[in-house]
């Protein structure tokens, strides 16, 4: 193959030569298309916030009417906002989380592929169904959760293959497998999600998933693996983004370290507890307060909290942390 400034010459039997200027024109058209999509999304941000305020505080029937009739209820940004609110509310009110996820799936199902692009619509729909699956799990509707994740997987297959999107769905689905007692499948999905987040260099998401992987190891009876994974995950987690996860994770790590009953571990346990108290200063971390308080009481006794593991009273709180496990 010979390269020139003006044309690309290919070998025998290849397609006709293409001028470099033609490639530039193709790239320019593609970039115009991307910029238009970005402009559409940017213009919807304010509209999405306005629509969410209209929905907030309304009764279920009123919400349904607004979603069905209001012109602002068909935007991609509103679907994303409802998905994020579903996750946030899962800390405090699982049924509110479920309602937000249900609204998100309705909006995602009405998004216009011509306006946003078919792959993007499919990926937002996958996120919405995964949020519904997670919220359904939290309220004990496991059959519905299974169906929602099946829908999410189908939508993912129609998307662009973006690692971040796949990792977010796998992270949530792992919690369902853990709830069902399918430990190997949960372990596989969390390991795969952490790998994908590492690929896209999102250290926060990778840290969050590795912390969950540590809790899975704990539930499986491997305290040493749990300490290692939690330590690694919390080191990369950005607490300001998810202070609840930071507070609860540090508290659980403190309990695990104290149960090792050696002096360096005891020192690290108190450092982890100090970190947990620090993150409790954030309003969004308040759901972690019961766990932090119990761990603090156990450590104040001045003795290891468990000879071979975490005490049962702490273990009972483990399945509720973090919100997606």
Q: pLDDT at residue 145 above 90? A: yes
pLDDT of residue 309: 58
Q: pLDDT at residue 301 above 70? A: yes
pLDDT of residue 36: 56
Neighbouring CB atoms inside 10 A of 315's CB total 15
User: Is the torsion defined by CA of 199, 200, 203, 206 positive or negative?
Assistant: negative
pTM: 0.79
Q: pLDDT at residue 10 above 50? A: no
pLDDT of residue 37: 57
- Low-confidence winner among 55-59, 170-174, 212-216, 303-307 (lowest mean pLDDT): 303-307
- % of the chain residues with pLDDT over 90: 40
Q: pLDDT at residue 30 above 60? A: no
Mean pLDDT of 206-230: 88
- Low-confidence winner among 69-78, 142-151, 166-175 (lowest mean pLDDT): 69-78
Q: How far apart are CA 230 and CA 248, in angstroms?
A: 11
Structure confidence by residue, pLDDT tens digits, 164-175 = 999 999 999 999
pLDDT of residue 310: 59
Mean pLDDT of 241-266: 87
3-state DSSP helix/strand/coil % of the chain, to nearest 5: 75, 0, 25
Q: Which long-range contacts link 95-102 to residues 24+ away (Cβ below 8 Å)?
A: 95/139, 97/131, 97/134, 97/135, 97/138, 98/132, 98/135, 98/136, 98/138, 98/139, 99/60, 99/63, 100/131, 100/135, 101/128, 101/131, 101/132, 101/134, 101/135, 101/136, 102/132
Higher pLDDT, 34 or 128: 128
pLDDT of residue 124: 93
Q: How far apart are CA 317 and CA 310, in angstroms?
A: 11
Strand pairing report for 18-19 and 7-9: antiparallel
Q: What is the mean pLDDT of the chain?
A: 81
pLDDT class for 218, splitting at 50, 70, 90?
A: confident
pLDDT of residue 42: 66
pLDDT of residue 4: 40
Higher pLDDT, 242 or 19: 242
Structure confidence by residue, pLDDT tens digits, 256-285 = 888 887 888 889 999 999 999 999 999 988
pLDDT of residue 6: 45
Structure confidence by residue, pLDDT tens digits, 74-131 = 788 888 889 988 988 887 788 989 999 998 999 999 898 988 889 989 999 999 999 9
Asked if 223 and 253 touch (Cβ cutoff 8 Å), the reply is no
CA distances from 207 to 16, 180, 223 (A): 50, 24, 18
pLDDT of residue 317: 60
Higher pLDDT, 280 or 312: 280
């Amino acid at each position: 193959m010979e390269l020139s400034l003006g044309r690309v010459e290919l070998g025998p039997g290849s397609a006709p030569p293409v001028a470099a200027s033609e490639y530039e024109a193709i790239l320019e058209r593609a970039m115009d298309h991307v910029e238009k999509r970005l402009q559409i999304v940017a213009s919807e941000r304010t509209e999405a916030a306005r629509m969410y305020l209209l929905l907030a505080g309304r009764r279920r029937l009123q919400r349904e009417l607004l979603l069905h009739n209001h012109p602002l209820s068909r935007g991609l940004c509103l679907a994303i906002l409802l998905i994020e609110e579903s996750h946030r509310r899962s800390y405090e009110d699982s049924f509110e989380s479920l309602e937000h996820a249900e609204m998100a799936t309705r909006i995602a199902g009405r998004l216009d592929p011509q306006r946003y692009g078919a792959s993007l619509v499919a990926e937002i729909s996958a996120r919405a169904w995964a949020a519904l699956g997670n919220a359904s799990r939290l309220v004990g509707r496991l059959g519905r959760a299974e169906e929602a994740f099946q829908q999410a997987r189908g939508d993912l297959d129609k998307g662009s293959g973006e690692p971040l999107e796949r990792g977010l769905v796998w992270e949530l689905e792992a919690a369902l497998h853990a709830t069902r007692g399918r430990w190997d499948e949960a372990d596989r999905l969390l390991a795969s999600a952490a790998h994908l987040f590492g690929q896209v260099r999102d250290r926060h998401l990778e840290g969050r998933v590795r912390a969950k992987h540590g809790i899975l190891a704990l539930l499986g009876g491997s305290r040493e693996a749990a300490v290692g994974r939690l330590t690694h995950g919390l080191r990369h987690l950005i607490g300001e983004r998810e202070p609840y996860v930071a507070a609860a994770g540090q508290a659980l790590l403190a309990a695990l370290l104290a149960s090792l009953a050696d002096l360096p571990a005891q020192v690290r346990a108190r450092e982890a507890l100090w970190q947990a108290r620090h993150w409790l200063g954030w309003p969004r971390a308040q759901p972690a307060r019961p766990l932090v308080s119990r761990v603090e009481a156990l450590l104040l006794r001045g003795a290891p909290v468990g000879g071979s593991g975490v005490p049962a009273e702490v273990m009972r709180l483990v399945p509720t942390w973090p919100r997606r496990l």
